[in-house]
Structure 1
């Protein structure tokens, strides 16, 4: 996830990348934008594009590698009174590896739920680079998914957004934003999960600052072209660490099935509970990233080869590291993956040019 640093009139994005010696360092990219960049935040990333929002000007979509940024027209006044839209995501339409179109998605916070058997209604504001306009869309979703976890970023993959939904039917909600004739989202149950576990710690000295490390964590991500669900449960006993299950969601002919990629107790390869699981590698499902509470840095671990790599230390910007904003203690993932790309930002519709 690119980390936005508050430089006035100069946008700086820092990306951790692997360097020599099995260590990582930070690569900085600076961009000159003629606005107060302290009021800009990173909203979302998708296929090499980054969505930014300025608190008073609006949205920018761009590629930080090419230093190419486009200011979007402002959203229209909301048609649903009394609530607001959340910055939800960015989806792309790809053809032969080239982005043809992108959409910025905002989800209305009032997720309307009608008692079973009627579905939930989701309301979106959608900007399309193909038309240069914002539009509204309402879709139904079967099941009792009243509580989409909208405080966390959804996952973007192949023009779809995936939300984690909590409620009677705890699972994943999926909607394809490039299927114009589809007025229904999909609701997918999570695979059989480990029992949530909150151990009693008799030896408080073995925990970090009153046991801030989570006992159970869920991570949604993508890897090798699949939506991936990771669950981590803290294990105590002779070998204290996290037991991890990694599941891939297989889609075929409108059916969805979970395939377990791997399961392991991290303590068996020398990683204890002081390293909190955070994300999975976008290109290799066997590589997982953890945040070390002890060393205040990321750790990359290949469970197939059982090799470990230490992440970067960026001393000049330590106050922005996840440990200080409690990202690693949150029970669900809050990180968004970003992959460097030379994709150009699609031009807006000619009437907006």
Structure 2
């Protein structure tokens, strides 16, 4: 490869937006950029830098993916919110588009054409690669006009090797009687398969929040009944690395005494872990505790590791009425809270106890991770969901937020195996604009 070493080092220090353009200059550049060596070198140089990501609402929502977005980060160099990368569907004749799931840089979309046809699309918005996924047969046989909601109760998990997505699975939670029933589409086979999965505990499907959080090939649902709530988890790529009931769903209770907890049960992700946080009050003090899920077991003391225990006295002195939103997905020192009385997003550093307030109507500004922070109807959404999280006694727990994190590298979307004509459509467009 006739490329000077100094050119390689300079290239690796550019944002991915620029590297993607260099990839199309000539074959030698493409060969270099696509090599494992260059990928590993680029990631090592940027391991401590933040990449673009968004806070999104967990419910079927419009194509405007972000309610809070981080862009202008060093790794990607995007000048616009990550959610804008799914704008391809605005340029088509599709009548309705909903974002169903975001996992490891991939986005799953539900769409309805102008003639009423229902569809799934899987895509890598960063590279503008989109594939249409064939419908599962059980939905095709239904009265689609009355049962289109089945299209929206969907999860997305991936398998990652050497930092690259090598396969994905689309999961529809169909039913639960004595066991779970899933319809699963795999990028490896290109077909839908039915899988029945037993669980250690019997419980009603009606108390499971249909929206899930994906991490490391595992889907996590929130189960809540009266004042009882826990996480239901299943590994779609097999095993929990403990050799116990690997083919079963796991149910994991939440830590804490269940008393003096200020917020409803919910959870998020940060630095490759499922994270649960809640505030405990007593003797006029409020203490925020953050746990990491370290083992998939129903023994709570073994499942969770207490990671942070912080007195938020600085917020209390300001009289800020807040509730938790998410942890920073790449930095477990930073928590995001929403202040109702200040109508602001609070970024709080759990290590330094420093925090900043960001209002939606203000000019986009730099946040703690060095990215530009911007909003999209965030205040409006926060007010609509406040009634669900203002008191643990007031109703069921909810999954209300998640993160859409763009990858640190230009990994391609694993294409489905070849199908008969019209069973799938591949759409390839230009690299990052």
If the length of structure 2 is used for normalisation, what is the TM-score? Answer: 0.63
Distance 1:70 1:319 in 2: 30
Distance 2:290 2:181 in 1: 31
Distance 1:5 1:43 in 2: 8
Deviation at 1:296, TM superposition (A): 2.5
8 A contact 1:278–1:291 mirrored in 2: yes
* Cα deviation code 1:284-339 (max 9, x no counterpart): 22211011212323211111111213336268953874224326844433112111
Aligned equivalent of 1:350: 418
* Cα deviation code 1:198-252 (max 9, x no counterpart): xxxxxxxxxxxxxxxxx4222211212111122235x48756xx54221111139
Higher helix share: 2
Question: What aligned pairs does 1:1-353 form with structure 2 within 5 A after superposition?
Answer: 1-2=55-56, 13-14=65-66, 16-17=69-70, 27=81, 29-30=84-85, 31-33=87-89, 34-36=91-93, 39-55=96-112, 56-78=117-139, 85=150, 87-108=153-174, 110-112=175-177, 120-147=178-205, 150-151=208-209, 153-167=211-225, 170-179=229-238, 182-195=246-259, 215-233=262-280, 235=281, 238=284, 243-251=287-295, 257-270=303-316, 272-311=319-358, 313=360, 317-318=376-377, 321-326=380-385, 329-330=388-389, 331-341=397-407, 342-351=410-419
* Number of residue pairs the alignment of both structures matches: 317
Higher strand share: 1
* Cα deviation code 1:164-200 (max 9, x no counterpart): 2235974222111112995311222322334156xxx
8 A contact 2:190–2:416 mirrored in 1: yes
8 A contact 2:326–2:337 mirrored in 1: yes
- Go from structure 1 to structure 2 and tell me whether the alpha carbon gap of 1:253 and 1:174 turns closer, same or farther (over 3 Å shift): closer
Distance 1:253 1:41 in 2: 34
Distance 1:179 1:246 in 2: 28
- Go from structure 1 to structure 2 and tell me whether the alpha carbon gap of 1:187 and 1:249 turns closer, same or farther (over 3 Å shift): same
Deviation at 1:139, TM superposition (A): 0.4
Distance 2:205 2:398 in 1: 14
- Go from structure 1 to structure 2 and tell me whether the alpha carbon gap of 1:340 and 1:325 turns closer, same or farther (over 3 Å shift): same
Deviation at 1:60, TM superposition (A): 1.3
8 A contact 1:146–1:165 mirrored in 2: no
3-state SS of 1:58 partner: strand
- Go from structure 1 to structure 2 and tell me whether the alpha carbon gap of 1:230 and 1:149 turns closer, same or farther (over 3 Å shift): farther
- Go from structure 1 to structure 2 and tell me whether the alpha carbon gap of 1:157 and 1:318 turns closer, same or farther (over 3 Å shift): closer
Distance 2:193 2:109 in 1: 20
Using CA pairs under 8 Å that are at least 6 residues apart, name the structure with larger relative contact order, 1 or 2: 2
8 A contact 1:219–1:279 mirrored in 2: no
3-state SS of 2:332 partner: coil
* Cα deviation code 1:73-118 (max 9, x no counterpart): 112125999997462311001100111111111112x421xxxxxx
Gaps of 5+ in 2: 1-54, 74-78, 240-244, 363-374, 390-396, 425-433
Distance 1:151 1:320 in 2: 24
Larger Rg: 2
3-state SS of 2:131 partner: strand
Deviation at 1:343, TM superposition (A): 3.2
Distance 2:129 2:353 in 1: 40
8 A contact 1:243–1:264 mirrored in 2: yes
8 A contact 2:277–2:291 mirrored in 1: yes
Distance 2:415 2:298 in 1: 32
8 A contact 2:250–2:298 mirrored in 1: no
Aligned equivalent of 1:206: none
